[in-house]
Amino acid sequence: MTKRSSRVAITILGATAFALAGCREEQVDAKAFPDLQTCTAEATQGGMFTAQDCESAVNAAETLHVEAAPRYDSLEVCEEQHGADACSTEASATQGGSGSIFMPLLAGYLIGNMMGGRAGMSAGQPMYKTSGGKYTNAARTSTFSTNSGAAKLNTSQFTRPATTAGKTPMTRATASSRGGFGKSFGGRTGFGG
């Protein structure tokens, strides 16, 4: 009876350890760049990403920006969330649209090496300024003190946010109820502390 009990206990302990290990989120090498040129310049010097990685991740981030950037009903509300001179009308941001919706300007790109190694698959997220002068990704899962630097990040940093295109833009009241664009997430800090 004792032998069986110890086997059951070991089996339960092993299953628990395996389950806990399965709960840990995978981390990837990631880097933030203020623009495509900075990424491709680093690629020519043997950086973390190739020039092709830079281009495909930046294109993906720009597409995501058009689809999922936060949208506001006034320039004032947008600038309250992202800072002075950090917003434009949707028409100038997307080359078409009503012009009465305001979006933050892209302030950089977050690129992750999703498969590991130089030949891996890269993923991109747009970065936006917050009113506090920091930066956040489109999914609002992190805040960063700078829009350049390298770190190991959880794959959740590259989660595709909900589409905002065609939806009702945020008003001052809805932005406030969410704690602001740069404040409604877990608050994890990546690059630059």
Which pLDDT value is given to residue 20?
A: 45
Residues 6 or more apart in contact with residue 75 via CB below 8 angstroms: 87, 89, 102
Which pLDDT value is given to residue 113?
A: 83
What is the per-residue DSSP string for 142-165?
A: EEES-SSEEEEEEGGGGPPPPP-T
Domain assignments of the chain as residue spans, ordered by start: 26-189
Which pLDDT value is given to residue 120?
A: 53
Which pLDDT value is given to residue 178?
A: 64
Do residues 135 and 48 touch, judged by C-beta distance below 8 A? no
Give the three-class secondary structure for 50.
Answer: coil
CA 66/CA 157 separation, integer angstroms? 18
Which pLDDT value is given to residue 159?
A: 82
Give the closest residue to 121 by CA, choosing from 40, 52, 24. Answer: 52
Residues 6 or more apart in contact with residue 23 via CB below 8 angstroms: none
pLDDT tens string, the chain, 193 residues long: the values are 555 555 544 444 444 444 444 566 788 889 999 999 999 999 999 888 999 999 999 999 999 999 999 999 999 999 999 999 999 998 644 444 444 899 999 999 999 887 654 445 678 999 999 989 999 988 777 889 999 999 888 888 888 888 999 899 999 998 877 655 544 344 444 554 3
CA 87/CA 84 separation, integer angstroms? 8
Give me the sign of the Cα torsion angle 141, 72, 131, 96. Answer: positive
CA 44/CA 92 separation, integer angstroms? 32
Q: In this structure, what token pair is assigned to residue 180?
A: 């602001």
Q: Can you give the pTM of this predicted structure?
A: 0.74
Which pLDDT value is given to residue 190?
A: 56
